[in-house]
Amino acid sequence: MFDTNKRYFIYGAGDVAREVLYCLRGEPRNLKIEALMVSDAHVEKGTEIDGIPVISFDDLEDSKDVPIIVAVLEQYRDAICTKLNRAGIQNPILMTFESDLWCEERGKSYALYRQEFEKQPYMLLQDGMGNGKAKTGYCELGMGRKEPLIIYIAKSHMDKPLKEHVKNREWEKEIQVGAALTKLRIADATDCSGDQISEKNRQYCELTALYWIWKNASAEYKYVGLCHYRRRFVLNKEDIGNLLDSGADVVVTNLVVNVPNVLAMYGKNHMLNDWEIMRDGIRKQCCEYLESLAYVEASHYYIPYNMFIMRKDVMDQYCEWLFPILKYCETMCQPREDAYQNRYIGFLGERLMTVYLYHNRETLQIIFSKKHFCE
C-alpha cells in the first residue's frame, strides 16, 4: 500500500494526524509526507507541525494525484471522505484512530521501539510468533469439555447498535457490565453476581467485568481474556492453537501512539491530577514500580482498552496488584459531572496495565494481536 518513492498528504492536523505522522515518516516506513491538510481555508502561512507544513485543502488543486492519508477520529471520517470524493479524489487511505490499518501500522512502529529500547522481541500472534504452524490444532482441543480459553466480551445496555454483523466465536462469551445499574439484561453473564463492583461501572468501565472475572470465573480455564463489543481480537482457530502451544503468558493488542509522550497526552485529554494520585498510590503500595511508571510516562506507547488474554494465574496476580491502586485513586480523586471524564478509573487502568507488563517484561512472555473495530 505504501511506496517510499511516492510523496503523501495527511488529511488532519490533530492528535491522530500527529501520531500517524510520527509512525509513517519513521522506521520502518520512512515515507515522505508532503504536508498536513485541514478543511479551514484560512490556515496561517508558515504553520508547521514537526517541520511539516499545514495547508488548506483548497490549496490542493495541483496535487490531486498525491495519495491522501485520512488521519482523524472516526466521527470526522465520513464528512472528509465525502469532501474528497466531490473533489475527484478516490480511495483515500483511511488511518482513522480505530481503523484496522492504523492498528497494524502502530504495531510495526512499536515492534522496532520494543526491540531497540525495551530489548524485548515483538511477536505477533497472527504470524505464528515466529514458531511456524501450531502443533496442536484448536479443533483437537476438546473445546466442548473443559475449555482452555475463554474471552469475555464486555457489553452495556447503553451500547450503540452495530452496523456490521458480528458473530461470536466459540471461545467468546458476552458479559453485561454495569448490570447493577439497570434492570435490563442483555447477556447471560453479568458483572453483578457473586463478588463484584458492578455499581462502579461508570468510573471503572470494562474493569468491573475484569473484577468479576478475577473473583468468579472458573479456574478450569487456562487462559482468560477481555475485549469489548466493538473491539475484538482478530483470532482464528490456528491463532488459538499457536497461543496454546506457545505457553505465552499475555496477549495484548498493538499499542496506542502518544506524541509527545504518554504523560503529556493524558494531561491534555484527561485530568492530570488523577495521574498524580495514581503515582502516589504506586509510591505507597508498590514503590518498586515507580521507575517503570516513569518509563511509561516518557514513552510514546501504551496498551489500550484494558483488552487482554492472560493465563489465569497471571491475570490473578495482575488483578491483585491493580485493584488496590485503583481503589486508592477512587478514594482520593474528586467526583466529576462530565460522563466521559468520570470514566477516569478505566483510563488509569489502561496505563497501569502498560506499567505492570513493562515492569514484568523479563518474566512474562508477552505477545501481540491484531484488533478489529466493529462499525
Matching residue, cell 475463554? 150
Task: Examine the pLDDT at 81 and tell me if it is beyond 60.
Answer: yes
Task: Examine the pLDDT at 215 and tell me if it is beyond 90.
Answer: yes
Handedness of CA 317, 174, 245, 305 (dihedral sign): negative
Alpha helices in 72-194 (DSSP H): 74-86, 100-117
At 364 the pLDDT is: 97
When the pLDDT of each residue in the chain is averaged and rounded to a whole number, the result is: 92
Q: Is residue 281 very low, low, confident or very high in pLDDT (cuts 50, 70, 90)? A: very high
Domains and CATH numbers, the chain: 7-97 (3.40.50.720), 109-373 (3.90.550)
pTM over 0.85: yes
Per-residue pLDDT tens over the stretch 344-372: 999 999 999 999 999 999 999 999 999 99
Q: Determine how β-strand 308-311 pairs with β-strand 172-176.
A: unpaired
Alpha helices in 175-271 (DSSP H): 201-204, 207-216, 237-246, 262-269
Share of the chain above pLDDT 90, in %: 84
